[in-house]
Amino acid sequence: MDWESAKKHCIDRNWQWSLEVLNQAHDEMKELEGRLKKCEDQQKAQRLYNSCNY
């Protein structure tokens, strides 16, 4: 999703409630991406740890 074009669309039409929902969704997506990265890093570290113990 292109967040910037969606925000511009809402601003052009003065859809404040949509803009607020869009901003909230964008913030949630950034948080989830951060959590995913953390989980992937933990999984990678665990694989490396396990491979060193064999």
| Nearest 10 degrees: Cα torsion 17, 18, 24, 30 | -160
Q: 1 pLDDT band (50/70/90 cuts)?
A: low
pLDDT at 35: 97
Q: What is the pLDDT of residues 6-49, one digit of tens each?
A: 888 888 888 888 889 989 999 999 999 999 999 999 999 999 88
- What is the spatial distance between Cα 47 and Cα 39, in angstroms, rounded to a whole number? 12
Residue with tokens 């074009």: 5
